[in-house]
């Protein structure tokens, strides 16, 4: 049961976005049957982000998508994160800007 729990520490940067964003993101994810995932992490708004989604693999990419709760601007938001090894990219936006988050994750 605990084999399905993955703890990560992520360092990120926010491209094409201005603001005071968190750059270090502790993260705990639980892997459910049929590639479903749920987790909690310290999001860019410096708040707890709680999500539920699914993981799929395309070639060498692990793609995670679903819904996340915990951002200041929107209560429930869509999420997508594309992982290549320990590196990831994810779309991001503020009220006036659209950009991306690029990061590096270490799994424990």
Mean pLDDT along residues 35-64: 97
Helix (H/G/I), strand (E/B), else coil: 67: strand
> What is d(CA 30, CA 49) in angstroms, rounded to the nearest whole number?
14
pLDDT top residue among 34 and 108:
34
pLDDT tens-digit series, residues 29-39 = 999 999 999 99
In this predicted structure, the answer to whether residue 40 has a pLDDT above a threshold of 90 is yes
d(CA 63, CA 57): 6
Percent of the chain topping pLDDT 90: 94
Q: How confident is the model at residue 46 (pLDDT cuts 50, 70, 90)?
A: very high
Using the predicted structure, report yes or no on whether residue 26 has a pLDDT greater than 70: yes
């Amino acid at each position: 049961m605990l084999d399905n729990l993955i703890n990560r520490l992520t360092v990120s940067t926010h491209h094409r976005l201005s603001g005071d964003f968190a750059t270090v993101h502790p993260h705990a994810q639980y892997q459910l049957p049929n590639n479903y995932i749920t987790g909690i992490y310290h999001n860019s708004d410096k708040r707890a982000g709680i999500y539920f989604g699914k993981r799929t693999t395309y070639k060498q990419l692990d793609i995670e998508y679903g819904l996340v709760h915990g951002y200041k601007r929107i209560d429930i938001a869509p999420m997508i994160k594309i992982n290549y090894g320990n590196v990831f990219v994810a779309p991001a936006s503020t009220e006036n800007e659209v950009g991306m988050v690029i990061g590096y994750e270490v799994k424990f």
